[in-house]
């Protein structure tokens, strides 16, 4: 193994020791060549890597491989902005009508023209928001537009510098290591972050410590119970080894929340159009090579339209979308 690992003998969420190896796979996006075994907990159905990357070697893995595939990064960046939309009228309208047929059609149409933006969380005036794993700070703008105060936190100094250069506040480090006062935030966001962390309980405990009583932890993470996981099997894009260490179901995320004194107030699932396109057009490369994404068949501009409608309908009907979006509240 190129990076230091530790073998996970128990489920990181429920500690059950009867995990089963589902299959072995490799990094099919950035070309890290080692083989990893994907485990499934037979008790709570959480999936996790048997060979977890040692936390102190994680920065080396990310520095060498992650982000080194520009075509895919462009797609990811687009998807990362999807959970926020600033127009309050659109937000109310979409939230109210999400479960109705008009809402579904409207959302599909809206997504097609807005580049996949959908709203999930709202922020009050002057609310203190900490965006953990903020990357280039793509969530800052819509959150600031709500009138909230945004602070980024990222492990990668290159990201921190990029955010600071835009005149925004960004703390460099991990949430454990940085010196932040307890109870100082109203909301903590972890957008596509918790699945990358080898000790998600420690992470969520720290989040709970940093928010005030009644404060929120807003998470989005791949949904292990998604229909694309069933359809795509080992080619599901969210296995994403070795970067994704732990993959949650709504139930296992709720369970982890409870262990951290956080109550899951609500959750829903959805499949971003850009992710579905990535899944449908993804070319899995041989081991050690970088993955490619290209549009098959129909012209690109025709694809998202019908697909977006279908995804919205399926997510509404079956509730098994690719992303799990949850709001947890400190008890």
Q: Which residues contact 108 (CB under 8 A, 6 or more apart)?
A: 305, 308, 309, 311, 312
Q: What is the rounded CA–CA span in Å between residue 224 and residue 290?
A: 24
Q: Toward Zn ion, which CB reaches closer, 14 or 134?
A: 14
Q: How far is the CB of 58 from Zn ion (least distance, A)?
A: 22
Question: In 3D, which of 4, 12, 7 has the Cα closest to residue 200?
Answer: 12
CB of 22 to Zn ion, least distance (A): 14
Site for Zn ion contains 44 (CB under 5 A): yes
What single string gives the DSSP state of each residue in 231-275? Answer: HHGGG-TT--TTT--EEB-HHHHHHHHHHTTEEEEEEEEE--HHH
41 binds Zn ion (CB under 5 A): yes
User: Can you tell me whether residue 75 is helix, strand or coil?
Assistant: helix
By CB under 5 A, which span of 45-53, 88-96, 210-218, 232-240 interacts with Zn ion? 45-53
Is residue 253 a contact point for Zn ion (CB under 5 A)?
Answer: no
Closer residue to Zn ion in complex, CB, 42/161: 42
Sort strands 51-53 and 128-132 into parallel, antiparallel or unpaired: unpaired
Q: How many residues bind Zn ion (CB under 5 A)?
A: 8
- The tokens for 173 are 């480090």
- 217 lies in the binding site for Zn ion (CB under 5 A): no
The DSSP secondary-structure symbol of 281 reads H
State the minimum distance, in angstroms, from the CB of residue 226 to Zn ion: 18
- Closer to Zn ion by CB, 46 or 159: give it: 46
- Residue 247 makes contact with Zn ion by CB under 5 A: no
136 vs 200 by CB, closer to Zn ion: 200
**Least distance between Zn ion and beta carbon 19 (Å):** 8
Helix (H, G, I), strand (E, B) or coil at 116: coil
Assess 43 for contact with Zn ion (CB under 5 A). yes
Chain residues 5-24 in contact with Zn ion, contact rule CB under 5 A = 11, 13-14, 16
CA distance linking residue 189 with residue 207, whole number of Å:
9
* Interaction between residue 47 and Zn ion (CB under 5 A): no
Site residues (vs Zn ion, CB under 5 A): 11, 13-14, 16, 41, 43-44, 46
């Amino acid at each position: 193994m190129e990076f230091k690992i530790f073998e996970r003998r128990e489920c990181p969420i429920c500690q059950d020791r009867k995990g089963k190896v589902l299959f072995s796979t490799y990094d099919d996006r950035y070309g890290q060549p080692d083989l990893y075994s994907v485990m499934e907990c037979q008790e709570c159905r959480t999936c996790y890597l048997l060979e977890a990357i040692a936390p102190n070697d994680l920065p080396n893995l990310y520095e060498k491989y992650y982000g080194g595939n520009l075509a895919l990064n462009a797609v990811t960046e687009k998807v990362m902005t999807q959970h926020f939309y600033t127009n309050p009228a659109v937000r109310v309208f979409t939230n109210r009508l999400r479960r109705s047929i008009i809402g579904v059609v409207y959302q599909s149409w809206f997504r097609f023209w807005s580049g996949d933006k959908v709203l999930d969380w709202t922020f009050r005036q002057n609310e203190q928001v900490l965006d953990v794993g903020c990357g280039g700070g793509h969530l800052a703008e819509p959150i600031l537009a709500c009138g909230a105060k945004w602070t980024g936190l990222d492990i990668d100094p290159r990201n921190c510098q990029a955010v600071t250069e835009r005149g925004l506040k960004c703390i460099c480090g991990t949430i454990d290591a940085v010196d932040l006062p307890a109870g100082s935030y109203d909301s903590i966001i972890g957008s596509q972050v918790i699945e990358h962390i080898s000790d998600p309980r420690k992470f969520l405990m720290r989040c709970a410590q940093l928010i005030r009583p009644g404060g929120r932890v807003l998470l989005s993470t791949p949904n292990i119970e998604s229909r694309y996981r069933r359809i795509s099997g080992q080619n599901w894009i969210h296995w994403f080894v070795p970067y994704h260490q732990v993959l949650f179901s709504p139930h296992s995320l709720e369970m982890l929340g409870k262990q951290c004194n956080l109550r899951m107030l609500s959750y829903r699932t959805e499949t971003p159009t850009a992710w579905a396109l990535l899944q449908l057009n993804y070319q899995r490369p041989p081991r050690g090579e970088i993955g490619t994404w290209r549009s098959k068949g129909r012209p690109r501009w025709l694809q998202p339209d019908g697909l977006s409608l279908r995804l919205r309908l399926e997510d509404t009907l079956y509730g098994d979308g690719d992303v799990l979006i949850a709001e947890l509240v400190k008890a």
